Homo-oligomer: A and B are copies of this chain.
Amino acid sequence: MPATLKDVAERAGVSIKTVSNVVNGYAFITDATRERVQRAIAETGYRPNLGARNLRKGRTGFIVLAVPELDNPYFAELTGLVITAAHRRQWTVLVEQTQGSREREQAVITSMGPQRIDAAILSPLAMEPDDLLSADPATPLVLLGERDIPGPADHVAIDNVAAARTVVEHLIGIGRRRIAVIGDQPGKNGGTAALRTAGHRQALDAAGIPYDPALVVPVENYQRADGAEAMAHLLQLPEPPDAVFCCNDLLAIGAMRAGAERGVSIPTQVAIAGFDDIAEGSYSLPSLTTIAPDKAAIAEAAVDLADRRVDPIRGGRGEKGSEPEDVRAPFALKVRESTAGAVR
């Protein structure tokens, strides 16, 4: 049975509230009392019951982090970072897996989870813009991904269009001209896919390379298998591409495998680039050129925003009712073997 304030109070010969005051750093306590209480705390091994404290305070101390799934290394890494960042601020993270289901994403933004939460951080996949209107207005929401969706939610993301443009410019830079993109999601407007494919197109346009719709390959999901399938399709085209930009690293890994299985040399015949910089990509054969979002910065910013919305003590920005914020995290292009060397 863990010690309570009552136990400590009895041992120190003071009231419960005095112990509470010591614990909370209340100022007006004599050194003698404080010391006595602190000794009693040490002796009993007292640690506050956060459940009770939060009940009293009307808070829960919980942030939900909802990601599609932990199987995905990008989200796994991000989750680890969010947990760490949250810990630093005394928050506890509840990890929720949406499986990319719209229903489960809605459950998060309407705070329908079993636990009461103070804020939610969501990495949306299936959500439609309208869903945000039904969001629980009492629970601050931070969306990971760009602010294509209007509504009362903060956003944290890298500049996906610019990042995609950067990769494709790199592909152009090494002399490629037929540059495909894997990862279009025709159904979903304003999603990540739309932004990254837009970046692809911008880079082509800027370089005066004609845009060939046949080289824009849609996928069901962003898994390795989808990348492999899409790549297989590209390779049997009458005029196959000499480079492929994949909207995430998993697609790229799948694409590289499909290429290898068909005897296509990467990067000599087809260069491949990804997006996310998962660890897998630095050890793949060949290692994968990719966009590395600053995941730590994203995690930090997301937790920071949630924190500020919940506890709007600090000045001005981030307060309860104030305008949604947009945080742009940095990114970097990592050139590796999968795009090494010039044109074939």
Contact = CB atoms under 8 A, between A and B. Distances in A.
Nearest to A279: B71
Interface string A52-91: 1011000010000000011101001101100110000010
A254 interface: yes
Interface string A280-311: 10111100000000000000000000000000
A320 to B, nearest CB: 14
A20 interface: no
A74 to B, nearest CB: 10
Given A224-B283, A257-B283, A116 B50 contact: yes
Contacts of A114: 50, 90, 92
A49 interface: yes
A51 interface: yes
Contact of A138 (B1, B73, B112): B1
Interface in A126-167: 138
A94 interface: yes
Q: Which of A80, A83, A224 has the most CB of B within 10 A?
A: A80
Contact of A253 (B76, B228, B283): B283
A69 B279 CA distance: 13
A70 B76 contact: yes
Contacts of A76: 70-71, 73, 76, 79
A71 B60 contact: no
Contact of A77 (B60, B71, B256): B71
A8 to B, nearest CB: 16
A93 interface: yes
Contacts of A257: 283, 285
A95 interface: yes
A18 interface: no
A264 interface: no
Contact of A284 (B69, B96, B284): B284
A284 B52 CA distance: 49
A97 interface: yes
Contacts of A49: 55, 116
Contacts of A112: 47
A214 B285 CA distance: 28
16 contacts: A1-B138, A2-B138, A47-B116, A49-B116, A51-B54, A51-B60, A55-B55, A70-B70, A70-B83, A71-B80, A73-B280, A90-B114, A93-B94, A224-B283, A256-B285, A257-B283
Interface of A: 1-2, 47, 49-52, 54-55, 60, 69-71, 73, 76-77, 79-80, 83-84, 90, 92-97, 112, 114-116, 138, 224, 228, 253-254, 256-257, 260, 279-280, 282-285
Q: Which 10 A-B pairs have the closest CB atoms?
A: A76-B76, A70-B80, A285-B285, A70-B76, A224-B283, A257-B283, A51-B51, A280-B280, A51-B55, A253-B283
Given A51-B116, A73-B280, A83-B97, 13 more contacts: A2-B116, A51-B54, A51-B60, A69-B80, A70-B83, A71-B279, A73-B76, A92-B94, A93-B95, A95-B95, A224-B279, A228-B283, A254-B283
